[in-house]
Amino acid sequence: MLIRNEAVGDILVIRRVVTNALKVLAQSTGAEAAIVEKLREDNALVLSLVAEDEGEVIGYLAASAARVGAQAGWSLIGPLAVLPSRHRQGIGSALMAEAIHRLRASMRGVALVGDPAYYGRFGFRSFPRMSVTGCPPEVVQALTFEDIEPCGELFHHQAFGLEQRG
């Protein structure tokens, strides 16, 4: 398996991977592929990684710029998607490990909204003073690369469709 940056020829298959992977999740809105496309259109992707196996794209991870309260220099990971037929093969973990490795060099930390049981294995955890309006606090998580505690609302690109204040 190869983890690499997306190429122009991957764009249509990324849409298919994201749509097929996330439609099996109860929390999916069905808009995840459109979010990725809007982030790409606005040049807002900090990372756009694909997992490829024998020439087939089987997984995808997006990361975009974010801010926590007044703290700039954060990245928001999402979506992370793996084809359902390839679940439990370490593909999502490989994408996440590569993203963390790359983002560590340029960001103060990464944040996401997701399952604590899954993302905790990568060092993500919730912080009492970090939030996203409308989300349960335990699913709003961060991994810090500096000796700082994220404090405030997690602000992200408007493509996510959540109200931006600030």
pLDDT tens, residue by residue, 75-130: 999 899 999 999 899 999 999 999 999 999 999 999 999 999 999 999 999 999 99
Total domains, the chain: 1
pLDDT for 32-87, tens place per residue? 888 899 999 999 999 999 999 999 999 999 999 999 999 999 999 989 999 999 98
Is 117 inside any structural domain?
yes
Backbone dihedral angles phi then psi of residue 122, each to the nearest 5 degrees: -100, 0
Beta bridge partners of 125: 142
Is 63 inside any structural domain?
yes
Burial class (CB in 10 A: 0-12, 13-18, 19+), 139: middle
Is 164 inside any structural domain?
no
Task: Answer yes or no: is pLDDT of 163 > 50.
Answer: no
Is 112 inside any structural domain?
yes
Q: How confident is the model at residue 25 (pLDDT cuts 50, 70, 90)?
A: low
Give the CATH number for residue 115.
3.40.630.30
Structural domain for 111, as ranges: 2-159
Is 57 inside any structural domain?
yes
pLDDT (average), residues 133-148 = 93
Is 166 inside any structural domain?
no
Q: How confident is the model at residue 162 (pLDDT cuts 50, 70, 90)?
A: very low
Is 165 inside any structural domain?
no
Is 30 inside any structural domain?
yes
